[in-house]
Amino acid sequence: MENIIEISKLKDGESYIVPESDYGRAEIRFINLTYFLFSIPMYGGIPVFEKAYSREQIGEMIKEYESWT
């Protein structure tokens, strides 16, 4: 629930790191009314683009990154 609130508050050009470990699990960037989901490698490094989502798909996006192990 907390992630939904933080993601919903993003303004154009902002990003949110989904916390899980020292490096995070995912990064979400909000650009032009679109959320871009990036996975963060387990031991750090450059985030990898996964998929783009609309505002109505925030729940689907959260389910996607929560499915990552």
- Written as six digits, the tokens of 41 are 């490698």
Task: Give pLDDT tens digits for 48-62.
Answer: 999 999 999 999 999
Task: With residue 24 as reference, give the H or E element that holds it.
Answer: none
Task: Give pLDDT tens digits for 14-59.
Answer: 999 988 755 568 999 999 999 999 998 877 789 999 999 999 999 9
Residues 6+ away with beta carbon under 8 Å from 67: none
Angular region, 36: left φ>0, alpha ψ -120 to 50, beta rest? beta
Helix, coil or strand: residue 58: helix
- Written as six digits, the tokens of 48 are 């990898």
Asked if 22 contacts 7 with a C-beta cutoff of 8 angstroms, the reply is: no
pTM score, two decimals? 0.88
